[in-house]
């Protein structure tokens, strides 16, 4: 698919989405936002997709939403309520899609991950960053309030006290700190980032896709449920996953004492 500011390729079961506006630190404009939503919606229904990789072109992952471009034309004042109408189909559609699409999502971060860039890193299943990457929530320093799930994701990832430090005081984290705080999976030296990401992607793309997707769903759904209400979800997921070809391959590999060869079916 072709969308201005995005590059998408699908090969070997891996959908690679690259934010491609390096001259703007890959800040996401409205066209890119629509393209990202479309890409993740397609990934949710395309049986060829077994993993998604989200990265940025050049030296940065994502500098946030391009609010400068949106407000460049001062002669066109938006109607009251335009933000409230727009967000549910843009950023507030994209972040839940990343979290709920039933294939693993891996995020590779170099340079800046600000605003929605930070939220995408938080929402991904595995995020690996360069040690010198910079994670930042710029909202209050710019005089407005957080969006794209920042106030929901951060307390759950790093705790409420640290979330206040990031959101109210505007502290930026480098990759090492972000990993230590639990905001991302891990950080590595910049020259090792590509190899570290590819190792994880290869493992996920070769995994039991249905079981991985259902496990992802269980983790997300269970976060807001008491145990007694969540256990039926586990039974439902077990029922579905045990009917897959990958489940039968997993059993055969265990009996034959060999690595499984999952096909994502």
**CATH number of the domain residue 19 falls in:** 3.90.226.10
**Edge-to-edge strands of the sheet including 51-56?**
2-3, 6-11, 14-19, 51-56, 105-109, 126-130, 186-188
The pTM score is 0.91
Asked whether 113 and 133 are in contact (CB, 8 A), the reply is: yes
As a whole number, mean pLDDT of residues 187-212 equals 97
pLDDT at 72: 56
As a whole number, mean pLDDT of residues 124-153 equals 93
Count of beta carbons in the 10 Å neighbourhood of residue 209: 24
No. of H helices and E strands in the chain?
12, 10
Does 167 lie in the same domain as 72? yes
Phi, psi torsion values for 52, nearest 5 degrees: -125, 135
Does 233 lie in the same domain as 131? no
Does 115 lie in the same domain as 45? yes
pLDDT at 254: 95
pLDDT at 71: 56
| Domain end among 169, 189, 205 | 205
Q: How far apart are CA 122 and CA 153, in angstroms?
A: 7
pLDDT at 11: 95
- What is the maximum span of the chain, computed from C-alpha positions, in angstroms? 71
Does 236 lie in the same domain as 133? no
Does 172 lie in the same domain as 244? no
Count of beta carbons in the 10 Å neighbourhood of residue 22: 13
Question: Is 77 domain-assigned?
Answer: yes
Nearest to residue 61, comparing CAs of 108, 16, 14?
108
Grouping H, G, I as helix, E, B as strand and the rest as coil, residue 105 is: strand
DSSP secondary structure, 19-77, as one string = E--GGGTT-B-HHHHHHHHHHHHHHTT-TT--EEEEEESTT-SB--B-HHHHT--TTSP
Does 162 lie in the same domain as 133? yes
pLDDT at 203: 96
pLDDT in tens, 93-123: 899 999 999 999 999 999 999 999 999 999 9
pLDDT at 143: 86
Question: Is 199 domain-assigned?
Answer: yes
Question: Is 262 domain-assigned?
Answer: no
* pLDDT reading at 8 higher than 80: yes
As a whole number, mean pLDDT of residues 201-216 equals 96
- Tokens found for residue 128: 């690996």
Does 171 lie in the same domain as 104? yes
Question: Is 141 domain-assigned?
Answer: yes
The residue count of the chain comes to: 265
pLDDT averaged over every residue in the chain: 92
| Percent of the chain whose pLDDT exceeds 90 | 82
Residues 6+ apart with CB under 8 A from 232: none
Give how many domains the chain has, as a whole number: 2
As a whole number, mean pLDDT of residues 178-191 equals 97
Does 188 lie in the same domain as 170? yes
pLDDT at 65: 87
Does 114 lie in the same domain as 20? yes
For 198, what's the count of Cα atoms within 13 Å in the CB-facing half-sphere? 6
Nearest to residue 61, comparing CAs of 128, 158, 14, 140?
128
Question: Is 195 domain-assigned?
Answer: yes
Structural domain harbouring 100: 2-205
Question: Is 193 domain-assigned?
Answer: yes
pLDDT in tens, 47-76: 999 999 999 999 999 999 876 655 555 666
Question: Is 265 domain-assigned?
Answer: no
pLDDT at 142: 83
* pLDDT reading at 131 higher than 90: yes
Question: Is 261 domain-assigned?
Answer: no
Does 217 lie in the same domain as 178? no
pLDDT at 75: 61
Asked whether 124 and 67 are in contact (CB, 8 A), the reply is: no
Does 162 lie in the same domain as 145? yes
| Percent of the chain whose pLDDT exceeds 70 | 91
pLDDT at 89: 61
Does 178 lie in the same domain as 159? yes
pLDDT at 145: 86
- Tokens found for residue 23: 């001259």
Asked whether 2 and 39 are in contact (CB, 8 A), the reply is: no
């Amino acid at each position: 698919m072709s969308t201005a500011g995005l590059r998408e390729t699908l090969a070997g079961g891996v959908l690679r989405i690259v934010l491609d506006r390096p001259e703007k630190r890959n800040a996401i404009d409205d066209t890119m936002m629509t393209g990202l939503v479309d890409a993740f919606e397609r990934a949710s229904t395309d049986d060829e997709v077994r993993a998604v990789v989200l990265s940025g072109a050049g030296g940065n992952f994502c500098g946030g939403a391009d609010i400068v471009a949106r407000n460049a034309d001062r002669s066109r004042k938006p109607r009251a309520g335009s933000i409230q109408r727009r967000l549910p189909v843009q950023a507030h559609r994209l972040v839940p899609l990343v979290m709920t699409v039933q294939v693993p999502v891996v995020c590779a971060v170099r340079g800046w991950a600000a605003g929605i860039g930070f939220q995408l890193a938080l929402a991904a299943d595995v995020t690996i960053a360069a040690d010198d990457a910079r994670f930042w929530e710029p909202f209050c320093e710019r005089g407005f309030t957080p969006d794209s799930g920042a106030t929901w994701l951060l307390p759950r990832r790093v705790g409420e006290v640290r979330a206040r430090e990031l959101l109210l005081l505007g502290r930026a984290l480098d990759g090492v700190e972000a990993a230590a705080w639990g905001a991302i999976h891990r950080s590595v030296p910049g020259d090792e980032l590509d190899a570290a990401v590819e190792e994880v992607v290869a493992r996920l793309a070769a995994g039991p896709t249905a079981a991985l997707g259902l496990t992802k769903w269980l983790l997300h759904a269970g976060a807001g449920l008491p145990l007694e209400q969540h256990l039926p979800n586990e039974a439902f997921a077990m029922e579905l996953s045990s009917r897959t070809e990958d489940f039968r391959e997993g059993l055969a590999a265990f009996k034959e004492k060999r690595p499984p060869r999952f096909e994502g079916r």
